[in-house]
Amino acid sequence: MPELPEVETIRRSLSQHILHLSIDEVVLRWPGAVEGYEGKSFEETVKGLKIQSIERRGKYLLFTLEKGWSFIAHMRMTGRLVYHANSQEPEKHTHVVLKLSSGEIHFTDTRKFGRLQLVRTEGRLRQPSLARLGPEPLEEGFSPEELGRRLAPRKLAIKAALLDQALVAGVGNIYADEALFRAGIAPERSANTLTPEEVEKLYTAICEVLQEGIAANGTSFRDYQDANGEKGAFQKELKVYGRGGEACRCCGETLERIRLGGRSTVFCPRCQK
DNA sequence: ATCAGCCCCTGCTAGC
DNA sequence: TGCTAGCAGGGGCTGA
């Protein structure tokens, strides 16, 4: 599940290879993987355009092309963007191949939830899903005070609140569970019941798990890999995610697994209050 | 405005 | 062994 650290790792690894290369040919093996263009097809529109930059916003990757075009990629659950220096046979679930002036990018997604969306560069940030994103947690503009202001009117479970991309961008199921464990906060707590001290702890925990996640090149729990096909290492650091029924690494208590916000949630009933 | 619940999709696993 | 039901989940959408 690519979350902020995984998407950032993909961005960095892709940037090593494809900046300033041109897209010579697009092979659309499953048309449902691309959306958002008008008139000419995705293939015709991006053909011949150079890739000028790759940025990240939340869990989205933003590719700026020439002539005022950009495309936005979202991996959702199982999406991968892998660079191959030499031409490769597409895998079973490779939906889009971008053949570049040197090498090619394969967009592969088993569950077909991921998307590439073509937009005009200047309208990109007004694109609805990007426009509603909350602050970048590792940049200026996110602080304990800001987090507290955003949690204050919310009555839903703090775990569900952290998954809301409008609250803070880029946190998903793995890092939400890990951050709540580090902060010692029970996931079912109503968001608006956190004390200022707890909000501060949560803020610190979110920043730490994301930074450590990036430093480890992400978490490869199931499918995730970066643009070089490399796995991450943060799964070794996970304290609660995916460990329901096992012993807490901190106190030995059996970790509980519940559903919150439609997502499986693991926490320690002794360490998290 | 907020929020719970459903849907999309495939592969894996538990259970019979 | 071979089948099916259940589960995994990000975000868009619907309806309360």
- Whether A237 sits among the annotated catalytic residues: the reply is no
State yes or no: pLDDT of A175 exceeds 90. Answer: yes
Average pLDDT, rounded, for chain A: 93
In Å, what is the separation between the CA of A245 and the C1' of B15?
20
In Å, what is the separation between the CA of A82 and the C1' of C11?
23
For residue A10, give both structure tokens. Answer: 């993909």
Q: How confident is the model at residue A208 (pLDDT cuts 50, 70, 90)?
A: very high
- Taking the C1' atom of B8, which residue's CA lies nearest? A113
State yes or no: pLDDT of A214 exceeds 70. Answer: yes
Cα–Cα dist A57/A138, whole Å: 11
For residue A40, the model assigns a pLDDT of 73
For residue A36, the model assigns a pLDDT of 73
Tens-digit pLDDT profile for residues A79-113: 999 999 999 999 999 999 999 999 999 999 999 99
Which of the nucleotides lies closest to A160 (Cα–C1')?
Answer: B3
Q: How confident is the model at residue A255 (pLDDT cuts 50, 70, 90)?
A: very high
- Whether A3 sits among the annotated catalytic residues: the reply is yes
- How many percent of chain A have pLDDT more than 90? 85
Whether A166 CB is under 7 Å from strand C: no
Average pLDDT over residues A28-50: 86
Cα–Cα dist A213/A209, whole Å: 6
Query: What residues have CB less than 8 Å from A82, skipping those under 6 apart?
Result: A105, A106, A108, A225, A227, A228, A229
Average pLDDT over residues A42-59: 95
Q: Among A11, A57, A59, A159, which one carries the catalytic annotation?
A: A59
Q: How confident is the model at residue A39 (pLDDT cuts 50, 70, 90)?
A: low
In Å, what is the separation between the CA of A196 and the C1' of C1?
58
- Give strand B nucleotides closer than 7 A to any protein Cβ: 1-11
Whether A74 CB is under 7 Å from strand C: yes
- Give strand C nucleotides closer than 7 A to any protein Cβ: 7-13
Average pLDDT over residues A197-214: 96
Q: What percentage of chain A's residues is helix, strand, coil (to nearest 5)?
A: 30, 25, 45
For residue A184, the model assigns a pLDDT of 97
Whether A191 CB is under 7 Å from strand B: yes
State yes or no: pLDDT of A221 exceeds 80. Answer: no
Q: How confident is the model at residue A38 (pLDDT cuts 50, 70, 90)?
A: low
Q: How confident is the model at residue A220 (pLDDT cuts 50, 70, 90)?
A: confident
- Taking the C1' atom of B2, which residue's CA lies nearest? A154
CA distances, A58 to each of A1, A136, A172, A242 (Å): 13, 7, 10, 23
For residue A223, the model assigns a pLDDT of 77
Whether A111 CB is under 7 Å from strand B: yes
More confident residue, A137 or A123: A137
For residue A13, give both structure tokens. Answer: 């690894």
* Residues facing residue A133 across a β-bridge: none
DSSP A253: P
Whether A157 CB is under 7 Å from strand B: yes
- Whether A263 sits among the annotated catalytic residues: the reply is yes
* H-assigned helices in chain A: 4-18, 42-46, 128-131, 144-151, 158-163, 173-183, 196-215
For residue A41, the model assigns a pLDDT of 85
Whether A258 CB is under 7 Å from strand C: no
In Å, what is the separation between the CA of A264 and the C1' of C2?
30
In Å, what is the separation between the CA of A173 and the C1' of B4?
17
- Taking the C1' atom of C10, which residue's CA lies nearest? A76
- pTM of the full predicted structure? 0.95
